[in-house]
Amino acid sequence: MDENTFSLRQVSGSQSRTSDLVRMLSEDIRSGRIKPGEKLPTEQEIVRLTGVSRTVVREAVAALRAEGLVVTRQGVGAFVTATPGQGMFRIASEDADSIERVLQILELRVGLEVEAAGLAARRATKASIAAISETHEEFFRGARAGEIVIGADYGFHRSICEASGNPYFPRILNSLGQILIPRQSVPSSLPSIEDKVKYLTGISAEHAAILDAIKAHDEEGARKAMRLHLTVSSDRYRSMKSF
């Protein structure tokens, strides 16, 4: 692929390099600069063009995969899906650039994901529980290192929607996109790695409670755990409005 085909450029030292890279790649995919079925630039190419680390590249590709924009083939690379961005409604990055918008997105998620969690607890198979567990473990590993693992976070919630047994839940989540995970678009106020680890492992513990309820096929427990998780997230961001 000719380098002029895509719009990748040096990523500035912003709060979220992953978010910036996801945005650039998403724009190239949705605009058709990278067409369905075409391969994304290699990891080495993206690092050279943008100046980000390999970790950021892998996290961005994971986020695009969770959103349904790309599929990955082990040892080959990532390819644009046949129908990227097919959803009728999306939340654009600029729609989540303020605390007020983030809170509104979280309200929307409560309406969708609380019921999805309950249905997942009722219908989850061994395979779907394993998928939820895998994304939870990926997020937990990142949390212990103080890393904001957006792809795994989004993947955790998406895998719960898939476990609901109702195909419209993951389709709606896909159409909304990984912008649903607000930590990528709201600058972090956590000054140290210790603070980040504490914050992220707390979120991981909330995820674990949801997963445990689904494993136990406890419908009301799963709904309650998901509602608590999203409510606590809202409280975190609401407290930032005063700063």
Provide mean pLDDT across the span 12-33: 76
Q: Tokens at residue 70, please?
A: 């790309």
Residue that is written with structure tokens 């910036």 in the block = 20
Query: Residue 20 is part of which domain span?
Result: 3-80
Between helix 17-31 and helix 150-163 the angle, nearest 10°, is 60
Per-residue model confidence as pLDDT tens digits over 64-86: 887 778 888 888 889 998 765 55
Find residue 72's DSSP bridge partners. 78
Q: Is the pLDDT of residue 130 over 90?
A: yes
Per-residue model confidence as pLDDT tens digits over 176-214: 766 677 665 444 566 788 888 998 999 999 999 999 999
In a domain, 86, yes or no: no
Prediction pTM value: 0.67
Q: Is the pLDDT of residue 175 over 90?
A: no
Q: What is the CATH number of the domain that holds 50?
A: 1.10.10.10
What whole-number percentage of the chain has pLDDT above 90? 40
Cα torsion at 11, 13, 19, 21 (round to 10°)?
Answer: 10
Provide mean pLDDT across the span 32-52: 90
Q: In this structure, are 157 and 230 located in the same domain?
A: yes
Q: In this structure, are 75 and 100 located in the same domain?
A: no
In a domain, 219, yes or no: yes
Tally of domains in the chain? 2
pLDDT of residue 136: 97
Mean pLDDT of the chain: 83
Find residue 77's DSSP bridge partners. 73
In a domain, 88, yes or no: no
Between residues 24 and 187, which one has the greater pLDDT? 24
pLDDT of residue 101: 78
- Cα gap 87→101, rounded to integer Å: 20
In a domain, 85, yes or no: no
Q: In this structure, are 67 and 132 located in the same domain?
A: no
pLDDT of residue 92: 57
